[in-house]
Amino acid sequence: MAKTPSDVPVEPGMPQLDFTTFPNQMFWLFVTIVAIYFVLSKIALPRISAVLSDRQDTIEHDIARAEELKQLAEDAETSYNKALADARIEANNIVNNTKLEMKAELARKIADADLQIADRAKESEQKLNNIKAKAKSSILDVANEIAIDIVSKVSPGHIDEKLIIESVNQKVTE
């Protein structure tokens, strides 16, 4: 539009209705449309379509890969948890077993100790009985001597010692 109105003869009306220019416009429009159509259908559109589907494929592939990795991570977590649970159970078992063993050991030891205590008690009882028996005989001896002395002092002469001992024994055992 470099030309000023004074340079160009001004035609009245709309240039759109100047039919002398129609063949020119139609011709160049035809050329243009054909050119654009070939550029688009032969080069641009297949290329863009390929790029878009490539991208779609890549995204889908990446998502699938991520899914896979996620699955792996989940598997690892489950096996870890399983191992943890197993270890816990084992630890519990060990603790329980140990407890049982210790209980059994304790019971055995207690039983041993009871036996020993019973032995000792028997022994002591025996000793006590011996001492008791000894004491009894010595008491008897002392009593006999005293009785003989008393009898000999009361009635000097013949003393029937056997009789005295007999009667003393009788009295003491009563």
Partner 1 sequence: MAGQTSGAEEGGLVFHPMDQFRVTPLFGDGPVGMFTVTNVTLWMGLTVLCIFLLLVLGTSRRALIPNRIQSIGELAYGFIFKMVEDVSGKDGVKYFPLIMTLFMFIVFSNFLGLLPGAFTTTSHIAVTAVLAMGVFLFVTILGFIKHGFGFLGVFWISSAPLILRPILALIEVISYFVRPLSHSIRLAGNMMAGHAVIKVFAAFAAIAVISPFSVIAITAIYALEVLVAFIQAYVFAILTCVYLKDALHPHH
Taking the least distance from each CB to partner 1, the nearer of 30 and 80 is 30
Smallest separation (angstroms) from partner 1 to the CB of 10: 7
Q: How far apart are CA 86 and CA 129, in angstroms?
A: 64
Taking the least distance from each CB to partner 1, the nearer of 35 and 110 is 35
Smallest separation (angstroms) from partner 1 to the CB of 32: 4
Q: How far apart are the first and last CA of the chain?
A: 164
The sign one gets for the Cα dihedral 3, 7, 11, 13 is positive
Taking the least distance from each CB to partner 1, the nearer of 36 and 128 is 36
Under DSSP, the state recorded for 174 is -
Smallest separation (angstroms) from partner 1 to the CB of 64: 17
Q: How far apart are CA 122 and CA 70, in angstroms?
A: 77
Smallest separation (angstroms) from partner 1 to the CB of 65: 15
DSSP H or E stretch at residue 3: none
Neighbouring CB atoms inside 10 A of 169's CB total 13
Question: What's the Cα-to-Cα distance from 97 to each of 85, 86, 87, 100, 101, rounded to whole Å?
Answer: 18, 16, 15, 5, 6
Contacting residue, 50, 69, 111, 139, with partner 1 by CB under 8 A: 50
Per-residue x/- mask for partner 1, residues 4 to 33, rule CB under 8 A?
xxx-x-x--xxxxxx-xxxxxxxxxxxxxx
Q: Which residues within the stretch 53-82 sit at the binding site for partner 1 (CB under 8 A)?
A: 54-55, 58
Neighbouring CB atoms inside 10 A of 9's CB total 6
- Part in contact with partner 1 (CB under 8 A); list of ranges 51-59, 72-80, 92-100, 128-136: 51-59
The footprint of partner 1 (CB under 8 A) covers 1-6, 8, 10, 13-18, 20-33, 35-37, 39-41, 43-45, 47-52, 54-55, 58
